Structure 1
Amino acid sequence: MLSIQNLHAAYGKVEVLHGISLEVPKGKVVTLIGSNGAGKTTTMRAISGMLKPKQGNVRFDGKDVTGMDSFRIARAGLAHSPEGRRVFSTMSVKDNLLLGAFPRFTRSRPRGDINTDLEKALELFPRLKERQDQLAGTLSGGEQQMLAMARAIMLNPEVVLLDEPSMGLAPILVDEVFRIISRLKERGVTMLLVEQFAAAALNVADYGYVLENGRISVHGPAESLKNDPAVKAAYLGGGHQH
């Protein structure tokens, strides 16, 4: 479904990704874990077109989308929920969600039933349902994070990129975010998840990749990574466990 081969990416002269390859099969949840600065967000940005890769390619649903504009990649059905809660603060929660479906209104994505999907999104995120008429800027940080996720899903995408969905959230909201990811998985939504809580990410994922200094150091079924002594020592100590 999503295939990344030998991807190199840089900011100016500083190369951050040194030839990474990964696969996200249809209907699966794949997680990318690694310490801060390993290149996780850069990987997401290079896939979604926010950053043009220097080398390598990104294939999505059989099409080469390497270096294409973000909006074209989104139209093809790839939704990116970026880190740091990018929401339209002067618009209501509901309008933010409808904006996520914009390519469907313009027919550049299959339209489907947008109102039904809006209901489904609000049902998945009960906190947003209660606040659908509020301005997004008045939501708490955790609620804005949920709104960014819900908006990505409103594209009715083939693949969702979730970049640090639990970043800066209180533990109770982290649990809720992972519960929502599990429910999306049950619905067959294909996801690539970048996450600081490695244990929680590996619990929900089918397959995992560990990124170290811009290279994939180890990868395998999530279950085997959870039991890998090196992964355990580096990423699964203390922290937030499920």
Structure 2
Amino acid sequence: MLTISNLHAAYGKVQVLHGISLDVPKGKVVTLIGSNGAGKTTTMRAISGMLKPKEGTVSLAGKDITGLDSHKIARAGLAHSPEGRRVFATMTVKDNLLLGAFPRFTGSRNRGDIDTDLQKAMELFPRLRERRDQLAGTLSGGEQQMLAMARAVMLNPEVILLDEPSMGLAPILVDEVFRIIQRLKHEGMTMLLVEQFAAAALAVADYGYVLENGKISVHGPAASLQNDPAVKAAYLGGNSQH
């Protein structure tokens, strides 16, 4: 569904990604774990068009989307829930969600039943239903994170990129975010998940990749990575409570 091959990316002269390749099959959750500065968010940005790759290819459902503008990549069916949430603070919760469906209103994505999907998003994220008419900027950090995820779902995408959905959240909200990811997975949503809580990410994922210094150091079924002594020692030591 989403295939990244030999991806190189840089900020100016600072090379961050050194030829990474990964595959996100349809209906699966794939996680990308690694320490801070390994290049996880850069990978997400290069996939979604926020950063132009220097080399390599990104294909979505067989279509080459490498280096396209972000709005064209969204129209192709890739939704990005970015690190740091990035909600539209001066718009209501409901309008943020409808903005997520914008390519469906313009005809560049299959329209489907937007109203039904809006109700479904509110069911998935009950806090958002309670606050649907509030300005997004007045929500708590956890609520903004849920709004960013729900906005991505509203695209009715082929693939969702979830970049650090638990960042800065209290443990109880981290648990809730992962319950929602589990439910989306159960509904057949294809997701690439970047996450600081490696243990929680591997528990929900089907397959995992470990990124070190801009290169994939190890990859395999999530269950085998959970039991890999090197992965355990490097990434699972302090996060096993999740």
Q: TM bucket by the smaller chain?
A: over 0.9
- Output aligned runs, 1:27-66, within 5 Å: 27-66=27-66
Matched residue, 2:68: 68
SS at match of 1:26: coil
Matched residue, 1:112: 112
Q: Deviation of residue 85 (structure 1)?
A: 1.1
Matched residue, 1:98: 98
Matched residue, 1:147: 147
Q: Deviation of residue 240 (structure 1)?
A: 5.0
Q: Is 1:211 matched with 2:227?
A: no
SS at match of 1:31: strand
SS at match of 1:19: strand
Matched residue, 2:157: 157
SS at match of 2:134: coil
Q: What's the TM-score, normalizing by structure 1?
A: 0.99
Structure 1: stretches of 5+ with no match in the other structure? none
Matched residue, 2:77: 77
Q: Deviation of residue 239 (structure 1)?
A: 2.2
Structure 2 residue identity aligned to 1:123: E
Deviations 1:27-67 (A, max 9, x none): 00000000000000000000001000000110111011100
SS at match of 1:57: strand
Deviations 1:93-118 (A, max 9, x none): 00100000000000100000000000
- Output aligned runs, 1:174-185, within 5 Å: 174-185=174-185
Q: Deviation of residue 214 (structure 1)?
A: 0.2
Distance in 1 between the 2:69 and 2:137 partners? 28
SS at match of 2:161: strand
**Taking every aligned residue pair, what percent have the same amino acid on both sides?**
86
Matched residue, 2:26: 26
SS at match of 2:57: strand
Distance in 2 between the 1:212 and 1:131 partners? 40
Distance in 1 between the 2:67 and 2:89 partners? 29
CA RMSD of aligned residues (A): 0.6
Q: What's the TM-score, normalizing by structure 2?
A: 0.99
Q: Deviation of residue 70 (structure 1)?
A: 0.5
